[in-house]
C-alpha cells in the first residue's frame, strides 16, 4: 500500500506545474493544457482520498470533474478558434481588451 502522502505530493506538483504554465505561457493553447494539468491534480486528490477513506463518492466526483473538464476544453477551444479568426492571434499578451 502506497501511503497517501505520495499521491498528495504528486497532486501538488502537478498543480504547481499547471499554475506555473497558466501564469507564464503566452500561447493560449498551452494555457488551456496547463489548466487541464491543474484539474487532473485535483482529480488525483479526489481519487487518493476516496481510496484512503474507502468512500466511493470521491471517485464519482473525479468522473464529474473529467466530464466538466472536457466540456470546458471544448468551449475554450471554440473561443480560441474565434479569436484566431478575428484577431489573427492567440498570444495572450496581445488580448487585453478589458482594460482601462
Residues that bind another protein (CB under 8 A): 19, 22-24, 31, 92-93, 95-100
Residue 59: CB minimum distance to another protein, A: 26
Of 88 and 93, CB closest to another protein: 93
Q: Which is nearer to another protein, 31 or 48 (CB)?
A: 31
DSSP letter string, 20-50? HHHHH--BHHHHHHHHHHHHHHHHHHHHHHH
Q: Whole-number minimum distance, CB 26 to another protein, in Å?
A: 9
CB of 87 to another protein, least distance (A): 14
Helix (H, G, I), strand (E, B) or coil at 91: strand
* Burial of residue 51 (number of CB atoms within 10 Å: 0-12, 13-18, 19+): middle
Amino acid at each position: 500500500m502506497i501511503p497517501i502522502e505520495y499521491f498528495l505530493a504528486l497532486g501538488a506538483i502537478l498543480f504547481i506545474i499547471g499554475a506555473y504554465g497558466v501564469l507564464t505561457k503566452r500561447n493560449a493553447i498551452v494555457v488551456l493544457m496547463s489548466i487541464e494539468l491543474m484539474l487532473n491534480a485535483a482529480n488525483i486528490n479526489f481519487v487518493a482520498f476516496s481510496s484512503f477513506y474507502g468512500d466511493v463518492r470521491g471517485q464519482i466526483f473525479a468522473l464529474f470533474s473529467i466530464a466538466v473538464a472536457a466540456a470546458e476544453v471544448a468551449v475554450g477551444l471554440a473561443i480560441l478558434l474565434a479569436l484566431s479568426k478575428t484577431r489573427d492571434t492567440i498570444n495572450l499578451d496581445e488580448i487585453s481588451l478589458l482594460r482601462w
